Amino acid sequence: MSPGRELAAAAALTAAGAGGMLAALAQVWARVSLDLPAPLEDAVVELEGSRLAGTAQALAWAGLAAVAALLATRGRWRRLVGGAAAALGAGAAAAVLAAAGEGPMLAAALEDHPTGRLDAVAAAPLWPWLAFAGALLLVAAGLATLLRGGAWPAMGSRYDHPGASGRTGPAGAAEAADDPARLWDALDHGVDPTRKPENLEQ
């Protein structure tokens, strides 16, 4: 796989991991039934993943921001972004696991009804597992970027003008004559692309 495709794959995995977490955290993870003292009626509290694992949600948003940073940086800075993304994913995974148990669900429900007693917990385990999988994707993408991102190209580097590599002289003019895009860039830098290199050196 070429470096450019590796960069695209890492960005896609990072976005998929963070986006998948946010989607899973927006779902109802559990419905907790509570017995309340008379004359209050019994209550059913619906708990979304974002309430149970608020830390994971914040880390997922940071993971989405890492996609832009991954594309905008290069070299050691991109590797640092990769390390940060891996750390975000690991933290989110830990937060999801800590929130997926019956204890945290009951505690969250009792925040709404402190006098209630647990009757039943109907959990939807699919969503916590999907959030956990998204966190692992973020870890994998971050580690790949940390290990290999230093060699990936910068976004838009394939469109650099001749002056970006110092080729604004005869060589730059010769290249511009063969490439319409470079022709306009050469004109912007005061180079006449219609003149031959030997004429420019006179």
Q: How confident is the model at residue 174 (pLDDT cuts 50, 70, 90)?
A: low
- Residues contacting 163, CB < 8 A, separation 6+: 172, 185, 189
Residues 60-78 have a mean pLDDT of: 94
**What's the DSSP call for residue 193?**
T
Q: Which string of b and e fits 21-34 if b means at least 16 CB within 10 Å?
A: bbebbeeebbbbbb
Residue 159 has pLDDT above 50, yes or no: no
> Would you place residue 181 in the very low, low, confident or very high pLDDT band (cuts 50, 70, 90)?
low
**Predicted confidence band of residue 6 (pLDDT cuts 50, 70, 90):** very high
Under the banding of pLDDT at 50, 70 and 90, the label for residue 23 is: very high
Tell me where in the chain the CATH 1.20.140 domain(s) lie: 3-157
Residue 55 clears pLDDT 80, i.e. is over it: yes
Alpha carbon distance 159, 172 (integer Å): 14
pTM (2 d.p.) = 0.73
Dist. CA 130–CA 136, nearest whole Å: 10
Residues 49, 29: Cα–Cα separation, whole Å = 6
Report whether pLDDT(201) > 60.
Answer: no
pLDDT band at 63 (very low <50, low <70, confident <90, very high): very high
* Domain 3-157, CATH among 1.20.140, 3.30.70, 3.30.870, 1.10.357: 1.20.140
CA atoms within 13 A on the CB side of 32: 23
- pLDDT, tens digit, 9 for 90 and up, residues 30-42: 999 888 888 888 8
What is the layout of strands, in order, in the sheet containing 28-35? 43-48, 28-35, 117-123
Per-residue pLDDT at 158 exceeds 70: no
- Over the chain, what is the mean pLDDT? 83
Q: Is residue 80 helix, strand or coil?
A: helix
pLDDT of residue 154: 82
